[in-house]
């Protein structure tokens, strides 16, 4: 509690659930995503539950200079960042790699890989300025298993994992702890894109997978460079 957390992809799905949970635990949350209406919905739920508002940052993570600007504005306002939850991710379309649309391929790489690199680049100093900085990235089982038609998504998450584990080694001597969460299958819009006919009521819901994020965000957490499963 009393800590400041930036959560990307907080307009719906897992990011919105993590934002509400962190706010309920007493954090001040900064919510980033493109969809203003979704950010406002998350903020309304936080206000209902806590009487406090979030800070809303409408932004497209593919506009990488906006990530730098966000870093500057958080530095000016708070001087540091305690917790980064880099949750935003895209699947785009499923399809065979030999026929995959180059524009969609680039979008997956931009959001799932390059935006994460840019977040690290922009927020490393701010996270280290915290007594107990915590950075949490969101990966997938697809990072370690080749599923036909999932190539950009799987490749992007594999690249993300390798980058984050490398970063963790590089900053091991600092106070900053860096980990990844594998959420498992969760009822969200992204999951719906991959499996349109699926009955999502039978799946884990976003609120069911927030515990791993809370654990990794705690100032007392000593885990570092790990992939933590949110569903056991
Ligand atoms: O997906 P969804 P999830 N700029 O689609 C945001 C991983 N995962 O909650 O911009 C900024 O409901 C988007 O906001 P908006 C997955 O890979 C999931 O399932 O307003 N933000 C929205 O808030 C991802 O890393 C499952 O459209 C951008 C959010 O990202 C994470 O979990 C399984 C953006 C996506 O919400 C959360 O995904 C697994 C951009 N350019 C891993 N593009 C699962 N659900 O089963 C997207 O293994 N966002």
Q: What is the mean pLDDT of residues 15-42?
A: 98
Q: What is the mean pLDDT of residues 132-160?
A: 97
- What is residue 169's predicted lDDT score, i.e. its pLDDT? 98
pLDDT of residue 1 exceeding 90, the answer is no
Please identify every residue annotated as catalytic.
153
Most ligand 1 atoms within 8 A of CB, residue of 7, 8, 9, 106 to mutate: 9
Q: Measured from the CB, is residue 116 less than 6 Å from ligand 1?
A: no
Sign of CA dihedral 6, 11, 15, 21: positive
Q: Measured from the CB, is residue 87 less than 6 Å from ligand 1?
A: yes
- What is residue 232's predicted lDDT score, i.e. its pLDDT? 84
Q: What is the mean pLDDT of residues 50-75?
A: 98
Q: What is the mean pLDDT of residues 183-209?
A: 97
Q: Count each helix (H run) and each strand (E run) in the chain, helices first.
A: 8, 7
Most ligand 1 atoms within 8 A of CB, residue of 10, 39, 188 to mutate: 188
pLDDT of residue 208 exceeding 90, the answer is yes
Whole-number average pLDDT of the chain: 97
- Two tokens, residue 129: 């300025």
User: From the alpha carbon of 141, which atom of ligand 1 is closest?
Assistant: 48
Q: What is the mean pLDDT of residues 156-167?
A: 98
Q: Is 15 left (phi over 0), alpha (psi -120 to 50) or beta?
A: alpha
Residue spans of the domains in the chain: they are: 4-229
Interface predicted TM-score of the whole assembly (ipTM), two decimals: 0.99
Q: What is the mean pLDDT of residues 40-55?
A: 98
Domain 4-229 has CATH 3.20.20.70: no
Q: What angle do CA 61, 175, 159 make, to 5 degrees?
A: 40
């Amino acid at each position: 509690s009393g800590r400041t957390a930036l959560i990307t992809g907080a307009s719906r799905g897992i990011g919105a659930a993590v934002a509400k949970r962190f706010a309920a635990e007493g954090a001040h949350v900064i919510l980033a995503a493109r969809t203003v209406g979704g950010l406002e919905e998350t903020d309304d739920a936080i206000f209902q539950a806590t009487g406090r508002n979030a800070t809303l940052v409408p932004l497209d993570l593919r506009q990488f200079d906006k990530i730098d600007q966000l870093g500057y504005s958080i530095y000016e306002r708070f001087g540091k960042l305690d917790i980064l939850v880099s949750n935003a991710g895209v699947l785009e379309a499923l399809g065979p790699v030999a026929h995959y649309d180059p524009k969609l391929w680039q979008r997956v790489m931009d959001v799932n890989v390059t935006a994460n690199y840019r977040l690290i680049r922009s927020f490393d100093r701010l996270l280290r300025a915290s007594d107990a900085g915590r950075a949490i990235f969101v990966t997938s089982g697809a990072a370690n298993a080749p599923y036909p038609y999932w190539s950009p998504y799987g490749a992007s998450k594999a690249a993300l994992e390798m980058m984050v584990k490398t970063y963790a080694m590089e900053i091991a001597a600092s106070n900053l702890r860096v980990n990844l969460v594998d959420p498992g299958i969760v009822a969200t819009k992204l999951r719906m894109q991959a499996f349109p006919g699926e009955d999502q009521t039978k799946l884990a819901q976003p609120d069911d997978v927030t515990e791993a994020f809370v654990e990794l965000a705690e100032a007392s957490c000593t885990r570092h460079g790990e992939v933590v499963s949110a569903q056991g």
